[in-house]
Every structure is written in structure tokens, then in C-alpha cells.
């Protein structure tokens, strides 16, 4: 009996490691199979559509997006989002596994382009005694005689999901196409950490980048801020906070489907695309509730940059929206307001796509094209 117990104690860790490795291998094989399926020609998906192409507000939904949304048709998304909220609030293994699954799901469809010259894992000191994990991407760039411009990037995920792992492929593509060093940053997530934790982490990341990017061949005087969705908000909020303090501002902003107004329901795109198109109004409400649990804080102007009376002096911006996105009109109106206040703004609407299309740059032609186009524009802006 003692021998048996000793054998179990010795072999159990090995059995556990083998089991975990097996699960991870199965998961990677599953994702590889899904990517191969989703990379088929558009015509294959047009043939599998159960309904005619969706046309709304003069836009035609991409057939691959429409096909992927078919499976959700008829689901009670309000109930699903409430279940998600409970998993996040209860914490534990379920929350960890959900976040890991989302990181993997965001990354498997992306096209990362050429391999990097180097990738570095770094630690950034936060403002509250915390430490942020970040990843620095240095592209292979020919004929550059000076330090490269830099993009400080914050992932999306409604302040409750995603990480530098989720955006690994997407930011590598940005580094390649813009020919910039990218610093991709993890910030604290809700509900564990609520407003303004993520905002403070973004400010800490900016301070670190200004001080340290030169160690990786980056130009500390040519740093842009960027992000997708909630991360785009953090980029705008950081620029506004620096302007308020009278400090050096980013050289540019790269904003993908930004959330810049907590009153999202007032925009026509909320009514048009708030259900059945991926990102939905139920998720937006849950995300806001978890990051800003105090309703009295939700009218804080720092959470709704578009309500600023004057945006003059802000960095020039490249703003990309998705056509079938409840946040589309926020992005468009923010670009307009910047221009009205004398700030250069380039606005691109990915009319056939929905929120989160950066994740599909390797499988959806329109997503790949716009991901490259916007990154190239950033590189040009940073070299003017």
C-alpha cells in the first residue's frame, strides 16, 4: 500500500502535465482546423448562407461574418451575457479558463506577417504598487538609419477580457506594416479592478515607454498610442490626461472601433446593430457595469472623451470603425469632432465587417486589407 501511495505521489504531477499538454494540443489542432475552414474562398460561405446577404444602412455584411453569426441566431443573448457576468463576478477557475479561451479565440485567425527581429517580455511598474506585463515587438526593417517610431498599444475586451496574448498576431502585423516598435500592454481587468485602474495602468505604460523604448531601438519622441475598442478608449483618455497636465503628447493615435461615449444608446448604430451582430448592447452594458460599478461615476467626462468641449491640441488620429457595429457612429462622430476642433483625423469605415475584425486579418480579405492600410497610414504619420 505504501509503495502504491508513493508511486501515485511521484507520477501524479507527470500525469497532470501530460493531460494538460494533451488538452492544449487538441485545442491547437481544433483552432488550426477552424482557421483552415474559415480561410476558404468567400464563395464557399455564400453557398452556405441560410438567408440572402444582409444589407443595412447601405452596407453589405461580409459573407464570412454572416455565416459565423448564423449559429447565434435566435439565442437569448441577454441571458448569455448575464451568465457571463456571473462567471466573472464569481471568479475562480471558470473565469480563468474563460479568459484563456478568449485569448486563443482572438488570435488564431490573424495574419501576423513576417517574423519579428526580436520580441521581449518586460515588466512595467504600475502607479498603485502593481506590475504590468508587456511585450515589445521589434520588426525587421531595411534601410532605416534612425530609431524606429513606436506604437504603445492597449488591447480591447470591454475592460474584462483579453491580453497581450489575444493581440499577439494583430500587433505583430501592425509592427510589420507600420515599421514601428510596438509595446503591447496588459492592464488590470474588471471586476477585480474597477475604474480608474485601467486608466492608471495606461498612464504608467506611457511613462515607461517614454523612458525605455530607446533600449529596443525605439524613438521616445515619436510614440503613438493605439488600441481597439476599450483599448482605443484608453489611448484617447491617456492623451487627454497628458494634455490636461501640460505634458508631452503622443505623436499620433491609432483607434480601432473606439468606445468614446458611455451613452452608447443615443447613436443610430446602437439601434441598427445592437443585437445579432457579434458585439451587442447586452455585452456593452455588462462591461460598463463591471468596470464602473458606481452608477454615479458613469457620467464622468473622462469616460466619455467625445463630450469634451474642446479637443484642440490632441494628437492626429487614424480612426477605424466597423460598419455593422453598435459603436460605429461613436467613431465617426469622434473623428468629426476632432476635425472641427482643428485636429487632423483620418476616418475609415470597414463597411462589410463587424466589431473585432482585427482578429480575422488572416481569414477575411476585407479585414486583412484594412488592418494593413491603417497600420501603413500610422507609419506614414509617424515619419512626417
Q: Which residue has the cell 534612425?
A: 146
CA distance 75 to 346: 37
Helix, strand or coil for residue 66? helix
Q: Which of 112, 184, 229, 304 is catalytic?
A: 229
Q: Which of 103, 201, 228, 325 is catalytic?
A: 325
* Contact yes or no for 342/144 (Cβ under 8 A): no
The DSSP secondary-structure symbol of 327 reads T
Report the candidate in 155, 165, 172 with the shortest Cα–Cα distance to residue 112.
172
Buried b (16+ CB within 10 A) or exposed e, 94-130: ebeeebeebbbebbbbbbbbeebeeeeeeebebeeee
Beta strands in the chain (DSSP E): 55-56, 59-60, 118-125, 131-138, 148-154, 181-185, 218-228, 253-256, 317-324, 345-354
CA distance 248 to 234: 17
Residues 6+ apart with CB under 8 A from 356: 106, 156, 228, 229, 257, 278, 279, 322
Residue 355 designated active-site: yes
- What's the gap between Cα 14 and its chain centre? 36
Largest CA distance in the chain: 80
Cell reading at 7 = 508511486
DSSP states of 5-37? HHHHHHHHHHHHHHHHHHHHHHHHHHHHHHHHH
Residue positions annotated with a catalytic role: 229, 325, 355
Amino acid at each position: 500500500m505504501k509503495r502504491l501511495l508513493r508511486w501515485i505521489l511521484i507520477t501524479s504531477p507527470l500525469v497532470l502535465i501530460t493531460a494538460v499538454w494533451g488538452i492544449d494540443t487538441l485545442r491547437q489542432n481544433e483552432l488550426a482546423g477552424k482557421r483552415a475552414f474559415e480561410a476558404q474562398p468567400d464563395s464557399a460561405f455564400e453557398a452556405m448562407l441560410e438567408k440572402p446577404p444582409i444589407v443595412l444602412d447601405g452596407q453589405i455584411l461580409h459573407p464570412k461574418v454572416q455565416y459565423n453569426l448564423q449559429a447565434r441566431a435566435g439565442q437569448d443573448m441577454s441571458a448569455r451575457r448575464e451568465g457571463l457576468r456571473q462567471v466573472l463576478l464569481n471568479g475562480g477557475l471558470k473565469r480563468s479558463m474563460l479568459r484563456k479561451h478568449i485569448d486563443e479565440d482572438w488570435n488564431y485567425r490573424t495574419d501576423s506577417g513576417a517574423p519579428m527581429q526580436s520580441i521581449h517580455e518586460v515588466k512595467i511598474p504600475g502607479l498603485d504598487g502593481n506590475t504590468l506585463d508587456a511585450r515589445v515587438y521589434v520588426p525587421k526593417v531595411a534601410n532605416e538609419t534612425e530609431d524606429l517610431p513606436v506604437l504603445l498599444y492597449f488591447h480591447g475586451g470591454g475592460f474584462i477580457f483579453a491580453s497581450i496574448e489575444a493581440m499577439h498576431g494583430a500587433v505583430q502585423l501592425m509592427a510589420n506594416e507600420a515599421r514601428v516598435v510596438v509595446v503591447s500592454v496588459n492592464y488590470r481587468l474588471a471586476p477585480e479592478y474597477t475604474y480608474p485602474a485601467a486608466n492608471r495602468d495606461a498612464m504608467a505604460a506611457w511613462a515607461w515607454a517614454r523612458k525605455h523604448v530607446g533600449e529596443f531601438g525605439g524613438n521616445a519622441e515619436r510614440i503613438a498610442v493605439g488600441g481597439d475598442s476599450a483599448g482605443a478608449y484608453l489611448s484617447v483618455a491617456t492623451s487627454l490626461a497628458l494634455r490636461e497636465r501640460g505634458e508631452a503628447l503622443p505623436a499620433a493615435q491609432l483607434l480601432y472601433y473606439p468606445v468614446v461615449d458611455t451613452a452608447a444608446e443615443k447613436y443610430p448604430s446602437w439601434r441598427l446593430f445592437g443585437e445579432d451582430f457579434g458585439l451587442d448592447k447586452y455585452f456593452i452594458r455588462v462591461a460598463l457595469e463591471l468596470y464602473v460599478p458606481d452608477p454615479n461615476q458613469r457620467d464622468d467626462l473622462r469616460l466619455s472623451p467625445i463630450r469634451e468641449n474642446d479637443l484642440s491640441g490632441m494628437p492626429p488620429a487614424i480612426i477605424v470603425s466597423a460598419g455593422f457595429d453598435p459603436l460605429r457612429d461613436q467613431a465617426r462622430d469622434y473623428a468629426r469632432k476632432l476635425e472641427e476642433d482643428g485636429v487632423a483625423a483620418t476616418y475609415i469605415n470597414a463597411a462589410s465587417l463587424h466589431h473585432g475584425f482585427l482578429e480575422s486579418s488572416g481569414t477575411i480579405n476585407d479585414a486583412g486589407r484594412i488592418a494593413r492600410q491603417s497600420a501603413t497610414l500610422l507609419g506614414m504619420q509617424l515619419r512626417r
